Structure 1
């Protein structure tokens, strides 16, 4: 990536005990104030999600259950990151294209976002994303 600070795997604190594990996302875990939380589940085999970038919004993605791949593009390079641990999340800052694919059966993707839904913040066409990145 042209700027590795635009994406980052962050460990979520885990309290492990015989009765089961507990992970907590509080103010110091992610570098933004949480304003929206949503989750993807029952994603059919072979389906893809994402396929967009955000002008300002930041997201933190967590595989609560199962696994999925996140394809990240910055306009120059592409990397693929597999998320499969509920105590790790992927921080994606603004101006990064993301595609989610290869969902395992029963997977759940939790997304913590830095703002509420605003359609005008989305870049839904890759060619428009490339123009956005060049300005």
Structure 2
């Protein structure tokens, strides 16, 4: 399951712009995996904390469709904090990376594109277990 924090990065979502506004398009060539699930978080209190887990199988793209929030990613050796505040940039998170989401602005909407359907057994929800899984 060992992945490096260096594999986490921003993905630019193609967009079209004219006088009527902007249109962003997520197609199969926009992201590095086939989408199996889409979910979103909204009406999140500014002091709320989301995430707090890693995945054994799932890859994700996290987007701030509206507002802003910070994503903390951790590979067991290094942590990085990334502000998401533009709807045409998503954060790619490969398997085996711990993620936390916090500091939600008012009206923030967090969209997640996932490579797997929901399967509770592939989540690691305990940080100490996560650290053990990446150091052994």
The 1-side partners of 2:4 and 2:11 are apart by 19
Deviation at 1:90, TM superposition (A): 0.2
Runs of 4+ in 1 over 2 A off after TM superposition: none
> Are the counterparts in 1 of residues 5 and 97 from structure 2 also a CA contact under 8 Å?
no
Match of 1:48 in 2: 49
TM-score by length of 2: 0.96
What's the offset of the Cα at 1:4? 1.1
Unaligned runs of 5+ in 2: none
Contact 2:5 2:73 in 1 (8 A): no
Q: d(CA) in 1 for partners of 2:11 and 2:33?
A: 13
Query: Could you say which residue in structure 1 is the equivalent of 2:104?
Result: 103
Distance 1:134 1:75 in 2: 7
Q: Residue 6 of structure 2: which of 4, 14, 19 is its match?
A: 4
CA distance in 2, matches of 1:69, 1:3: 16
CA distance in 1, matches of 2:55, 2:17: 35
Q: CA deviation at 1:2?
A: 3.9
**Deviation string, structure 1 residues 19-75 (Cα, Å, up to 9, x no partner):** 010000000011100000000000012000000000110000000000000001110
CA distance in 2, matches of 1:64, 1:3: 24
d(CA) in 1 for partners of 2:106, 2:5:
33
Counterparts in 2 of 1:1-135, with a 5 A limit?
2-5=4-7, 7-135=8-136
Number of paired residues?
134
- 1:109: how far off? 0.3
- TM normalised by structure 1 equals 0.96
Superposed CA offset, 1:76-124 (max 9, x none): 1111000000000000000000000000000000000000000001000
Q: Which runs of 5+ in 1 are unaligned?
A: none
